[in-house]
Amino acid sequence: MSQAPPFGTICAMSPAMPTAAVAPALSEELLRRFDTPGPRYTSYPTADRFVEAFGPVEALGALQQRAQGATVGGRGLLSLYVHIPFCESVCYYCACNKVITRHHERATEYLDALEREVGLVRSAMGGSAQPVTQLHFGGGSPTFLSDAEIDRVMASLRGAFRLAPGAELSIEVDPRTVTPQRLEHLRQAGFNRISFGVQDFDPKVQQAVHRVQSFEMVRELMKSARSLGFESINADLIYGLPRQTADSFERTVAQIGELRPDRIALYAYAHLPQRFKPQRRIVSAELPTAADRVAMLGGAIAGFLARGYSYIGMDHFALPGDALAVAKRQGRLHRNFQGYSTQPDCDIIGLGVSAIGRVGPAYMQNAKTLPEYYDALRQGQLPVVRGIALTRDDLLRRAVIMALMCQGRVEFESIELAHLIDFRKVFASELQQLEPLVEGGLVEIEPGAIQVTATGWYVVRAIAMVFDRYLREDKLRERFSRII
């Protein structure tokens, strides 16, 4: 594993990235102007733009075309995402697609269906074992599965695909569901990256969100993971939760700093109780104010930078020796449904209920409920229910938005060469729309490039949104989370 390296220099970062010396401030006024609801751009077009006209037939066609070599993204690399939806108890902030149950026997029917899906995908791809360089288990809680069930899934995947030597095999872990022995089993099963859902260490906050797990427990597990040789250990945190204060969150940041995971994902809590039922159990009056949230974000960024972490982008930090930080410095960072990635833009096969995939110039999503998912597979059909075939305009805008989200910079010439356009002509109106952000000091427009400033990283989504064609006439922005 990439052992936690010593405090490293951050001077190799892009000069516009926040550094320990310059933790940027976002004024109340800028916040009011630019903290609007917006997508996180793990894809463009975003998943809410997928349409039902793209279904199993179209998905099958995309897989078959890939098998024939017609549309192979990312130099032929393939990534797998496996969604395990079950959790034993609900966290009140949750916005994931999950099924709350204590009945572990429900996993058997699910794994039967998953195996059928793996078989269908394999035969659609020509029946030969495709090389896979990245595999991610997410959820829900993948560790709801027993060790034997995890082995069963891995055996099915290894039977259908060829896991390349050195492939990244990662898994999300709910600390409450594992022991050091279980981590050892995951390591033996081949996982080399692990992500712990921490969120906050303050007991009052944990009670308010119905997710109680002690600092000591997480410390013990991270220590075990490290000694077991996991190459990268991630911790997820959330700010904006009920009962959090700038001071309490600073303590959590300090505790995480002490554990020294290789990567930290810091998410903003999106309170959308009308969309996500568990959130109705959160007491709105206990939520921090917008100003508190800015203080928490600013404090966390400054805290992690001061502890030697590099700022990767919107919501990620990594130790300078971690592959993500190295990719950032070398301009090789990408973004996919799991967030930032070192993997080149490659095809992704999404397996399991609600999983999203990307094959060639198309995105596709599986059925969101278990009955629908099971039903499709019983009929021998891919369980895809929605998707989108990208147009030339989508591909062009995706390139611009991903450059902003990953590098904080768009070089006109590279977009012009790749898409055969005149950037200033095609995006004349967008460049004009950027003016208020330029005035706010969030972005700079150079003769041949757009550069996100250090402060602009706080609202990089707002900058990307300018290039999102689908948002133009959209009157329903409130369905997205706020940017900060």
Residue 309 C-beta: closest distance to ligand SF4, Å: 24
394 binds ligand SF4 (CB under 6 A): no
- Work out whether 98 is an interface residue with ligand SF4 (CB under 6 A): yes
Q: Which stretch binds ligand SF4 (CB under 6 A): 29-37, 93-101, 233-241, 422-430?
A: 93-101
Measured CA to CA in angstroms, residue 45 lies from 328, 344, 393, 421, 478 at distances of 23, 18, 10, 20, 17
Does position 139 interact with ligand SF4 (CB under 6 A)? The reply is yes
Distance CA(183)–CA(447), nearest Å, equals: 52
Partner residues linked to 161 by β-bridges: 130
- The owner of tokens 């998707």 is 387
Choose, by CB under 6 A, the member of 18, 24, 39, 140 that binds ligand SF4: 140
> Among 484, 462, 351, 477, which residue's Cα sits nearest to residue 48?
477
User: In the complex with ligand SF4, which residue's Cβ is closer, 85 or 308?
Assistant: 85
Instruction: List Cα–Cα distances, 364 to 33, 62, 343, 397, 480, in angstroms.
Output: 34, 10, 19, 19, 20
Count of residues in contact with ligand SF4, rule CB under 6 A: 11
Q: Which is nearer to ligand SF4, 42 or 65 (CB)?
A: 42
Between 100 and 449, name the residue whose CB sits nearer to ligand SF4.
100
Do residues 188 and 180 touch, judged by C-beta distance below 8 A? no
Residues in the chain: 484
Closest CB 278 distance from ligand SF4, rounded Å = 7
Residue 94 or 323 with smaller CB distance to ligand SF4: 94
Query: Should residue 94 be labelled a site residue for ligand SF4 when binding is judged by CB under 6 A?
Result: yes
| Residue among 111, 48, 49 at smallest CA distance from 82 | 111
Q: Is 91 in the site for ligand SF4 (CB under 6 A)?
A: yes
| Residue 81 Cβ vs ligand SF4, minimum distance, rounded to whole Å | 15
| x/- letters, 192..211, toward ligand SF4 (CB under 6 A) | -----x--------------
User: 87 vs 390, which CB is nearer to ligand SF4?
Assistant: 87
Which residue stretch of 88-96, 266-274, 314-322, 344-352 sits at the interface with ligand SF4 (rule: CB under 6 A)? 88-96
Separation CA 192–CA 184 (nearest Å): 11
141 binds ligand SF4 (CB under 6 A): yes
Which of 90, 129, 306, 421 contacts ligand SF4 by CB under 6 A? Answer: 90
Give me the least distance between CB of 151 and ligand SF4, in Å please.
Answer: 22
Min separation Cβ 473 and ligand SF4, Å: 33
Smaller CB separation from ligand SF4, 141 or 338:
141
Interaction of residue 217 with ligand SF4, rule CB under 6 A: no
Instruction: Name the residue nearer to ligand SF4 (CB basis): 65 or 101.
Output: 101
Comparison of 93 and 304: residue with beta carbon closer to ligand SF4: 93
96 lies in the binding site for ligand SF4 (CB under 6 A): yes
Residue 227 tokens read as: 């000694």
Q: Give CA 193 to chain center in angstroms.
A: 15
Is residue 451 within the footprint of ligand SF4 (CB under 6 A)? no
Residue 309 CA: distances (Å) to CA of 11, 172, 318, 400, 436:
12, 21, 5, 27, 31
Q: How far is the CB of 484 from ligand SF4 (least distance, A)?
A: 21
**DSSP character for 172?**
E
Give the Å distances, CA to CA, from 223 to 46, 65, 200, 355.
37, 45, 18, 31
Region from 26-34, 87-95, 283-291, 402-410 binding ligand SF4, contact rule CB under 6 A: 87-95
Residues contacting residue 93 through CB under 8 Å, at least 6 positions apart: 199, 209, 238, 241, 269, 278, 279, 282
Of 78, 100, 109, 131, the closest CA to residue 350 belongs to: 78
Binding site for ligand SF4 (CB under 6 A): 87, 90-91, 94, 96, 98, 139-141, 174, 197
